[in-house]
Amino acid sequence: MKNSLRWGPFLTVLDREISRFIKVIVQTVITPLVNSVLYLLIFGVSLGSHIKIHDGISYLSFLIPGLIMMGCLNNAFQNASSSIITAKFGGDLEDFRVAPLTRSQIVWAMSLGGLIRGLTVGVMTYLAGLLFVFIAEGQILGIAHPFILILFLSIGGLTFAKLGISVAFWSKSFDQLSAVTGFILTPLIYLGGVFFTLESLHPWWQQLAKLNPLLYFINGVRYGLIGVSDVSWPMACGISLFTLVVFHLLALRSLRTGSFLRW
Amino acid sequence: MQSAFQPVAALRVNDLKKDYGKNQAVKGVTFSVKPGEVFGLLGPNGAGKTSIISIIVTLEPATSGCVEIFGVDVAQQSRLAKTKVGWVPQEIINHGYFTVEEILKFISGFHGRRKNKDRIDYLLHRLSLWNHRNKKVKELSGGMKRRLMIGKALVHEPKLLLLDEPTAGVDLELRLSLWKFVEDLKKEGVSILLTTHYLEEAENICDRVAVLHHGELKKIGPTQELVQSLTSRMIRLHFKREIRPLKHPYLTLQNQMMAEFSLPSATGIGELLNDLQLDLRMLNDIQIIEGNLEDAFRFILEQQK
């Protein structure tokens, strides 16, 4: 196989994915940022002053890593899924099929595109949180473990982009896509510990929450940013990596068995 | 076994079958397209043309059979095969977010040619899209969209081009310019597989044609040979004055001043006049209406009823 086919098609799909979300940046980056700012304002500043979490950590600071991860996961998922769904609708997904692209190239390029959008929203959310903490508490929110923070954001973003690919390739209508988002994804994210600690839950509910892989993604980011977590970070890392591998295989399978044909 | 001196076929379709559930869309079709040839795949709607093209471009897998592009099996070595073929689908692709130039860049990159500005610029000029290169697809007219589809199919310089109804819903001027472009591509050595419902155009441009019906290949051959073997030429003799009733096996109509004959295309007029033993001074005019591909097509379909 020619060398140009090794990297050229992959880089082009990645280029296309990034260009696409930049073209609609208000919808893809600014709107999620506004959502995060509203969460910070309402839950972090207004209600947060009445909530006690860990010693020496304000609820606002506790909330920020959860919001960063929530923004990253949601946007990584949406980038991949909306790219595929609009391509199905317009018919240009057929271009992917008739070009000499491998399934692996498509999955990696689309998930990297999703990750880049997720990280962009995550970084913007962090900067907004930094500002809120500075105004509300007069201090700078530093990063406790930068490597761990980036590691968990990357694993989470890639995992959710791959989930977005799978759902979009298998979806036969907009309804199916929004059903997955509304009934599975959003509840898992909200129940994954964005807004609460594990110890604040009933013991029975704690055991159930531990089955949610998003708990480990979110707590990994929380450990990376503010140095506290409900679970040990190596275990969180192991479970997150396992989830990434499973979702990667799912995405590859969705390209083999899902549809490239236009709606 | 391929002879050492025989060039590899641009496209070889061998015993191709495609089932959609219980419906057999393609039933063991075999044909080949020679290098540099324009080959017409004709048939009524539902004949299996688009199914065959979908299998060639790997949009759909074949149920059985084999497709090779310049000797490369599309099922076994699909990536290599895909670099050799360009496809213009029936339906316009929308590409909501991107401009004409970006679309060509992306398609070129998908084929491993990320730095292909010269080719993209050439195609933009050649297809009269240069002034519209910064427009999105939705801002283009129907003709421009169709030209963009052709540009996309050619941006990686394929040796085989598949045109699936390229002139459907296109005005006369654009149709003529598209056929001129196809002729130029042929001169450049590009092999072309074409499906169209405009049989007059197919007759003019295709070196060979195949007629499909209900997923089966009914006829295949050089276009003119097929027309000659399956159609008749109509000869109308107009006389200066009333003549006696004529007797001839190919006579189809006669009135006082005119006689009409339907001759096999290979039969000459001289032969007819000789058979009739007419005084040529009685003739006022001779009208010859040659059989065409549409007649041949109709003849083939009627044979199937």
Per-residue model confidence (pLDDT) at position B190: 95
Looking at the fold, whether B172 and B277 belong to one and the same domain comes out as no
Is the pLDDT at A154 greater than 90? The verdict is: yes
Of B277 and B154, the one with more pLDDT: B154
B60, B102, B111, B138, best to mutate vs chain A, most A CBs in 10 Å: B111
Looking at the fold, whether B191 and B72 belong to one and the same domain comes out as yes
Dist. CA B42–CA A177, nearest whole Å: 40
Number of domains chain A contains: 1
Residue B1 placed within a domain: no
Q: How far is CA B98 from CA B43, B104, B142, B168, in A?
A: 35, 10, 17, 24
Residue A51 placed within a domain: yes
Sign of the C-alpha dihedral computed for residues A168, A172, A178 and A180 taken in this order: negative
Instruction: For chain B, give the percent of residues with pLDDT over 90.
Output: 60
pLDDT bracket for residue B5 (50, 70, 90): low
Which CATH number does the domain housing residue B70 bear? 3.40.50.300
Q: What is the ipTM of this complex?
A: 0.89
* Structural domain span for residue A27: 4-257
Sheet holding B216-222, edge to edge: B85-88, B160-164, B191-195, B38-42, B208-213, B216-222
Residue B158 placed within a domain: yes
- pLDDT digit string, tens, across residues A63-117: 999 999 999 999 999 999 999 999 988 888 889 989 999 999 999 999 999 999 9
- pLDDT digit string, tens, across residues B182-213: 999 999 999 999 998 889 889 999 999 999 99
| Range of weakest confidence among A135-139, B94-98, B148-152 | B94-98
Of A2 and B244, the one with more pLDDT: B244
pLDDT bracket for residue A244 (50, 70, 90): very high
Per-residue model confidence (pLDDT) at position A119: 97
Per-residue model confidence (pLDDT) at position A117: 97
Instruction: State the DSSP H helix or E strand holding residue A166, giving kind and residue range, or none if neither.
Output: helix A146-170
Per-residue model confidence (pLDDT) at position B229: 85
Per-residue model confidence (pLDDT) at position A1: 53
From A101's Cα to the closest Cα of chain B, the distance in A is: 7
Per-residue model confidence (pLDDT) at position B282: 87
Residue B296 placed within a domain: no
Q: Which residues of A touch B83 (CB under 8 A)?
A: 2, 5, 100
* Structural domain span for residue B33: 11-227
From B110's Cα to the closest Cα of chain A, the distance in A is: 4
Alpha carbons within 13 A on the beta-carbon side of A22: 9
B58, B85, B88, B97, best to mutate vs chain A, most A CBs in 10 Å: B97
Per-residue model confidence (pLDDT) at position A198: 87
A125-128 contacts, C-beta under 8 A, 24 or more apart: A125/A32, A125/A33, A125/A36, A125/A64, A125/A67, A125/A68, A125/A71, A126/A64, A126/A68, A126/A225, A128/A33, A128/A36, A128/A37, A128/A40
pLDDT bracket for residue A56 (50, 70, 90): confident
From A241's Cα to the closest Cα of chain B, the distance in A is: 30
Question: What is the DSSP secondary structure assignment for residue A58, as one 8-state letter?
Answer: -
- pLDDT digit string, tens, across residues A1-14: 567 788 999 999 99
Q: Which residues of B touch A263 (CB under 8 A)?
A: none
Are A97 and B96 a contacting pair at CB < 8 A? no
Is the pLDDT at B304 greater than 80? The verdict is: no
pLDDT bracket for residue B4 (50, 70, 90): low
Per-residue model confidence (pLDDT) at position B269: 84
From A10's Cα to the closest Cα of chain B, the distance in A is: 8
Looking at the fold, whether B18 and B70 belong to one and the same domain comes out as yes
Residue range A187-193: mean pLDDT, rounded = 89
User: What residue has token string 């890593």?
Assistant: A65
Dist. CA A221–CA B103, nearest whole Å: 38
pLDDT bracket for residue B84 (50, 70, 90): very high
Residue range B254-282: mean pLDDT, rounded = 85
Residue A263 placed within a domain: no
Residue A262 placed within a domain: no
Dist. CA B298–CA B303, nearest whole Å: 9
Residue range A197-203: mean pLDDT, rounded = 86
Number of domains chain B contains: 2
Per-residue model confidence (pLDDT) at position B173: 83
Residue A120 placed within a domain: yes
Instruction: Name every residue in B having a CB less than 8 A away from some CB of A.
Output: 57-59, 78-80, 82-83, 85, 87, 89, 91-98, 102, 105-107, 109-114, 152
Looking at the fold, whether B115 and B176 belong to one and the same domain comes out as yes
| Range of weakest confidence among A181-195, A221-235, B102-116 | A181-195
Residue B3 placed within a domain: no
Residue B133 placed within a domain: yes
Looking at the fold, whether B67 and B205 belong to one and the same domain comes out as yes
Residue A147 placed within a domain: yes
Is the pLDDT at B272 greater than 70? The verdict is: yes
Q: Are B48 and B26 in contact (CB under 8 A)?
A: yes
Is the pLDDT at B2 greater than 60? The verdict is: no
Per-residue model confidence (pLDDT) at position B6: 66
Residue range B75-91: mean pLDDT, rounded = 93
| Range of weakest confidence among A214-228, A234-248, B246-260 | B246-260
Task: Tell me which chain B residue has its CA closest to the CA of residue A87.
Answer: B95
Looking at the fold, whether B179 and B109 belong to one and the same domain comes out as yes
Looking at the fold, whether B24 and B147 belong to one and the same domain comes out as yes
Residue range B260-279: mean pLDDT, rounded = 84
Looking at the fold, whether B272 and B201 belong to one and the same domain comes out as no
Looking at the fold, whether B106 and B160 belong to one and the same domain comes out as yes
Task: Tell me which chain A residue has its CA closest to the CA of residue B54.
Answer: A98
Per-residue model confidence (pLDDT) at position B242: 87
Residue A177 placed within a domain: yes
Q: Which residues of A198-210 are buried (b: 16+ CB within 10 A; e: fewer)?
A: eeebeeeeeeebe
Residue range B63-87: mean pLDDT, rounded = 95
> Whole-number mean pLDDT of chain A?
92
Per-residue model confidence (pLDDT) at position A26: 95
Dist. CA B141–CA B127, nearest whole Å: 13
Residue A59 placed within a domain: yes
Looking at the fold, whether B176 and B237 belong to one and the same domain comes out as no
Looking at the fold, whether B77 and B215 belong to one and the same domain comes out as yes
Task: Tell me which chain B residue has its CA closest to the CA of residue A98.
Answer: B57
φ, ψ at B75 (rounded to 5°): -85, -40
Are A91 and B91 a contacting pair at CB < 8 A? yes
Looking at the fold, whether B176 and B265 belong to one and the same domain comes out as no
Of B269 and B11, the one with more pLDDT: B11
